[in-house]
């Protein structure tokens, strides 16, 4: 069982088939996190903002890329507050920490304070990305996981149960991997996370698990260290 984990959620995963949020997804997410927390696991969360906006997409609409990324970072804060509300609604003590200072809404990210919250049993949700444009929330996850010394990054995917050699929805012959190294990701061009995030995980020897969050109890199973999905690390098996 892992002692301290960082759960990476995409914004799209929170939306489901809805436009912004699917209340049932938020509720199920909160219940599973509460279940894992009861086991004594320290939980941090990084959430994306793709259910609202993506910096790269709005660039195509004539909006400056830096401004677009700033809009995307604010979208992640909206998602962080939504997750906080769901967790606190079922009695889970939670803190939102943002890389962009907005003291009336959330705490600023301070590494030592974040670790202290985790040690006290609070769920910490990191919003605002890295606080700089041109960096994805995958990179934020790699950065924050390294800063809080997490045991693993749990990358929760929407209806995909691991890493495949090709898109399993399009290619019936796609092979599922149970274990990969970070060099495999880079050499095979597997789109698990962007190359900046992959390199950061590799440099800091951070383990990554890719799993399907839509299957019941999978978040708890992942946090307990059960072998679901695909494990990615530096070691050759």
Q: What pLDDT, on a 0 to 100 scale, did the predictor assign at position 237?
A: 55
Q: What pLDDT, on a 0 to 100 scale, did the predictor assign at position 56?
A: 75
Q: What pLDDT, on a 0 to 100 scale, did the predictor assign at position 220?
A: 96
| Coil/strand/helix, residue 22 | coil
Residues 48, 66: Cα–Cα separation, whole Å: 17
Tell me, what DSSP letter sits at residue 234?
S
Q: Write phi, then psi, for 47 (nearest 5 degrees).
A: -120, 140
- Domains of the chain (ranges, CATH numbers): 4-233 (3.40.1160.10)
Q: What pLDDT, on a 0 to 100 scale, did the predictor assign at position 172?
A: 84
Residues 232, 163: Cα–Cα separation, whole Å: 9
Residues 195, 81: Cα–Cα separation, whole Å: 28
Each residue's pLDDT, cut to its tens digit, for the chain (237 residues) gives 999 999 999 998 898 887 888 999 999 999 999 999 999 999 999 999 999 987 777 877 889 999 999 999 999 999 999 999 999 999 999 999 999 999 999 999 999 999 999 999 999 999 999 999 999 999 999 999 999 999 999 999 887 889 998 888 888 888 999 999 998 888 888 888 888 999 999 999 999 999 999 899 999 999 999 989 999 998 765
Residues 183, 199: Cα–Cα separation, whole Å: 9
Q: What pLDDT, on a 0 to 100 scale, did the predictor assign at position 236?
A: 67
Q: What pLDDT, on a 0 to 100 scale, did the predictor assign at position 91?
A: 97
């Amino acid at each position: 069982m892992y002692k301290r984990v960082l759960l990476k959620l995409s914004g799209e995963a929170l939306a489901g088939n809805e436009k912004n949020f699917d209340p049932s997804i938020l509720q199920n997410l909160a219940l599973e996190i509460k279940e894992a927390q009861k086991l004594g696991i320290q939980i941090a969360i990084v959430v994306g903002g793709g259910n609202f906006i993506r910096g790269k997409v709005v660039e195509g609409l004539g909006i400056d890329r830096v401004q677009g990324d700033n809009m995307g970072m604010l979208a992640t804060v909206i998602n962080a507050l939504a997750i906080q509300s769901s967790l606190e609604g079922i009695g889970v003590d939670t803190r939102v920490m943002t890389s962009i200072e907005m003291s009336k809404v959330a705490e600023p990210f301070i590494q030592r304070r974040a670790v202290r919250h985790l040690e006290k049993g609070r769920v910490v949700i990191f919003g605002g990305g890295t606080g700089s444009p041109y960096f994805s929330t995958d990179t934020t996850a790699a950065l924050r996981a390294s800063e809080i010394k997490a045991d693993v990054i749990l990358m929760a995917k929407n209806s995909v149960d691991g890493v495949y050699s090709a898109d399993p929805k399009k290619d019936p012959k796609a092979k599922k991997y149970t274990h990969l190294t970070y060099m495999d990701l880079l050499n095979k061009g597997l789109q698990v996370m962007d190359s900046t995030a992959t390199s950061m995980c590799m440099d800091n020897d951070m383990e990554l698990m890719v799993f399907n969050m839509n299957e019941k109890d999978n978040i708890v199973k992942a946090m307990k260290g059960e072998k679901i999905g695909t494990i990615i690390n530096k070691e050759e098996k």
